[in-house]
Amino acid sequence: MAEAGTLHDAFIDELRDTYDAEKQLTKALPKLAKASSNPKLRQAFESHLQETQGQIARLEKVFASLDEKVRGKRCDGIAGIIEEGKSIMEEDFDETTMDACLIAAGQRAEHYEMAAYGTLVAWAQAMGHTEAAKLLQQTLDEEKAADKKLSGLAEGGINQSAADAAHPEEEDEPEAAPTGAKKGAAKGGRR
Ligand code: ZN
Ligand code: FE
Ligand code: FE
């Protein structure tokens, strides 16, 4: 019977999974960029593509620091997230709604990566793989920054313009007013 695996084995496994996830993302990010209407959003996806290529190179350094061959192992988690992103891109949304949805898809991917790198950093530190921990932390910081940038774009106007398109000309009149009590009662009513 084979010996039970250790945390080190699980760590190498997770590194391979994450390596594959990054590779999948280098194919998905250009599609997100292309589908974006907002130039800043397109730019954000394009610059994260550059970063992602650097993250792949960084993971190769991590493997080297552990005397491991560079190898990927199919990441089903990110594949599912990418698949969902593709379905969104097939929808017939107006431009700003599509941008809001692309941000949502991108942030799902970033959060998945943040979870993966968070674990990898913690495990590397616990096992004393300090060089690996340092490199993985750099990527974790980049993923967090990419996520923040997407939040900034969403909250900095994209969500609101999509919301305005969804609910045009909504005025300050309370929507919940009973239908029977239109003008007279609501405004000039006596009591
Ligand atoms: Zn180890
Ligand atoms: Fe990444
Ligand atoms: Fe990322």
Give 138 Cα–ligand 1 centroid separation in angstroms. Answer: 19
Given a contact cutoff of 8 angstroms between Cβ atoms, the answer to whether 26 and 56 are in contact is: yes
Give 184 Cα–ligand 2 centroid separation in angstroms. Answer: 59
106 domain residue, yes or no = yes
Give 144 Cα–ligand 2 centroid separation in angstroms. Answer: 10
CATH number of the domain encompassing residue 102? 1.20.1260.10
At 130-153, the pLDDT tens digits run: 999 999 999 999 999 999 999 999
67 domain residue, yes or no = yes
Residues with CB under 5 Å of ion ligand 3 are 113, 143
In terms of residue numbers, what domain contains 135?
7-164
45 domain residue, yes or no = yes
Give 14 Cα–ligand 1 centroid separation in angstroms. Answer: 12
Give 185 Cα–ligand 2 centroid separation in angstroms. Answer: 58
C-alpha to C-alpha distances, 6 to 9, 10, 130, 135, nearest whole angstrom: 5, 6, 18, 22
191 domain residue, yes or no = no
Give 71 Cα–ligand 3 centroid separation in angstroms. Answer: 19
Mean pLDDT of the chain: 92
Q: Which ligand is nearest to the CA of 136?
A: 2
Given a contact cutoff of 8 angstroms between Cβ atoms, the answer to whether 150 and 106 are in contact is: yes
52 domain residue, yes or no = yes
65 domain residue, yes or no = yes
183 domain residue, yes or no = no
C-alpha to C-alpha distances, 164 to 98, 161, 171, nearest whole angstrom: 14, 5, 12
pLDDT of residue 183: 45
Q: What confidence category does residue 49 fall into, taking pLDDT thresholds of 50, 70 and 90?
A: very high
If one counts every other C-beta atom within 10 angstroms of the C-beta of residue 135, the result is 22
155-167: average pLDDT: 96
Number of domains making up the chain: 1
